[in-house]
A and B are shown apart, each in its own frame.
Chain A
Amino acid sequence: TNQEKMFLVFTEWVKLLQRVPDDDVKVTVFIRQMMDKGVIKSTENVIQFTKAAIELSVGSFKESDPASEVFIAADAFSKLIVKLLVVQVFTSLSRSEYLKLMLSVITIVFSEDQGMTGNSFNERPYFRLISSLLCQWEEASAHNFIKVQDQSYRNELIDFSPEFYNIIASFLHAFQPIAYPGFSFAWITLISHRMFLPKMLRLPGKAGWSKLVLLFTDLLKFMAQYTKKSDVPDAVSVVYKGALRVFLAVANDAPGFLVENHYELLNNLPPVYMQLRNVILSAIPKNMVLPNPYDAELRISDVEACQHVPNVYYDPVQDLKSLKKPVDNYLRIPSASLSRMVSTSLFKPGYEKDTGIGYDSVSVDTKLINAIVLHVGIEAALEKDKTTATAIFNTKSSYYTLLTSMLSDGNTEVRFHVVQAIANQLRFPNAHTHWFNYVLKNFFISEDWGQDTAEIQEIIVRTLLERVVTNKPHCWGIVVTFTELLRSSECSIMTLPFVKDIPEIEHIIKHL
C-alpha cells in the first residue's frame, strides 16, 4: 500500500543517517529522489509520509529495549523536517504552512495515541521529536544559516526563523497540560528547553514574547485549576517546583520579560503561590542597582529611577472592555455617576472558586480590577510627564479619587482585591511604584473612610505583611512602603486594635 511505501522510504532514511554525516551529499540526493519520485510531491503524500514517520518513530521507541538508542527514528524524523524546510523551494505551500501541516499530522497522531492508550501513553518519543527538532533547527540556523550558499535563500531562511519558533510555540499551546495531562511534564520541559525559551525571550523585537506569555499562562492556569487548599496532588506540587525553577532562571537571564509582563502573569497566578508572586514582581531591569529599602534616610521621591515609566508589554486598557470609556472620561472629568458606574461593574455574574489565603471563592472580577488599577497608574504616570508631579501626587486628582471611590463604594472583598492590585505595582523603583506608594500611604492615613477606616487599614497591613513574611525575594516597593508605614508618625501601626488583638501579628510587627 501507499503507506507501506512510506514506511519503507522513512526506514531507508533512518538507516542512511546512521551511516553518513548529515551534511553528506547522499542525504541531499535522497531528499531529491523523494521529491522526484513524488513521495512528498502532493500535500496528500506529505500527510501520508509524516503520519508514517511519526508512527514509526513512536513505534520504534516502544519496541526498542530501553538501553539501546530508542530515539534514532525520532531524531532522524526531526532531521528530515529541518532538511525539508531548508532545501526545498516553496511555491504552492509556504514554508510556514508546510511546517504547520507536518506538525498538525503529528498532533493528530499524538492525540489518538494519548486518547487511545489511556494511561499507557508515553510522552517521551513526542518530547524527543520536538526537542531534537529544536536542536537540529538551531544547528541548521547557526551563523545565520551559514551552510546555505545562496544569499537570497539564506535571507529567506533568516526571516523564517522567528516564525519557526512561534509555530512551535503555537503547537505547544495546543499541547498544554489542561488539554493533555499525560504530556504535562514533557510540556514543561519543552517550554523551558534550552533551544526554545532563550530564543523566544531574545527574538528581535520581542517577537516571541506574546506566545511565551501565552505558554506561561497555560502553565499557571493549570496550576491554579488544581491547587486546592489542602490536598495538592503530589504531581501538581512537582509541577510547581519545576515552574518555580523556570521562573527563577527567567528572572536571572531575562528579567525584562518578567518586568514587562507582570500584569498578565499575575492575572493567572494562583494567589496562594505568594513566593512565586514575589519572584515575578521582584524582577528588576538588568544593571539596575536598588537603593537600600531599609535606609531610614531614603525618600522615594529622591530616587532618580522613580522618574522613569516602566514599559508594560500588554496594555491593560485592552481588558477594560466596556469600562474603558467611563474610566477614561472619569480621569478627564470626574463625576459621581461615572465612578459609581465603575464601582458597580466590578462584580462577576456568579461566584467562582479561587484558592486564596483566607478565602475560597471570588465574586469580583479580579482581572478587571487589576486592569483598572494598572491603567490608572499608567495614565497617572503619563499625566505627570505631561504636566507636573503635583497634578497626580495629590488626593484631589481624579487618578487618586477613582481608586478611593472603588474602595469606599466597594465591599470588603472589593477593597481587598483593589489593595492587592495596588501592591502588585509596588516593584522596583519606577514611576508606577512611586505613585502607588503615594496612593497606599494616603489610603492608610486618610480620614475619609469613616467607619471603614479600620477595615481598610487592616487590609493594607495584611496585604503588605503577607508579602514580607514570605521567603525572599521581597519587592523593593513593598518594603519601602511598609517601612514608611511602620515609621509613620501620623499613625502608629502598633496601636491599631486589629494588630493588638492578635499576639502573633503584634509580635511580628514589633519585630519588623
Chain B
Amino acid sequence: TMPAEMAAQLESSLLNCPDSLDADTPKLYQTPLSLPHPTSIFFPNET
C-alpha cells in the first residue's frame, strides 16, 4: 500500500502537473516588434 506521505507527494505532483505551455519552447529574447502592446480589445487575442 502506498505510504500516506508518498500518496500526498503524488497528489501534489498531479496538482502541479506541467501542461503544454510549460513544455513549450523557451522564448527569452523578444524582438521589440513582438513585445506586448496594448492593442484594441476587438482584436483577436489568440493566435
A contacts, CB < 8 Å to B: 17-22, 71-72, 75-76, 78-79, 114, 118-124, 127-128, 131-132, 135-136, 139, 177, 180-186, 189, 193-194, 226, 228, 233-236, 238
Contact = CB atoms under 8 A, between A and B. Distances in A.
Interface string B3-47: 001111111111011100011011111110000000000000000
Nearest to A14: B28
Contact of A135 (B6, B12, B13, B26): B26
7 contacts: A119-B8, A131-B23, A135-B25, A181-B10, A184-B10, A185-B16, A226-B2
A122 B16 contact: yes
Nearest to A76: B28
A268 B9 CA distance: 23
Given A124-B22, A131-B22, A233-B2, A182 B9 contact: yes
A139 B26 CA distance: 11
Interface residues on B, range: 20 to 34
Contacts of B23: 127, 131, 189, 193-194
A131 B29 contact: no
Contact of B17 (A114, A118, A185): A185
B10 A233 contact: yes
Nearest to A79: B28
A189 B23 CA distance: 8
A17 B17 CA distance: 27
Nearest to B8: A119
B29 to A, nearest CB: 5
A27 to B, nearest CB: 10
Contacts of B27: 75
A124 B16 contact: yes
Given A18-B28, A124-B16, 18 more contacts: A18-B29, A21-B31, A79-B26, A119-B12, A124-B18, A124-B22, A127-B18, A131-B22, A131-B23, A181-B9, A182-B13, A184-B10, A185-B13, A185-B14, A185-B17, A186-B16, A226-B2, A228-B1
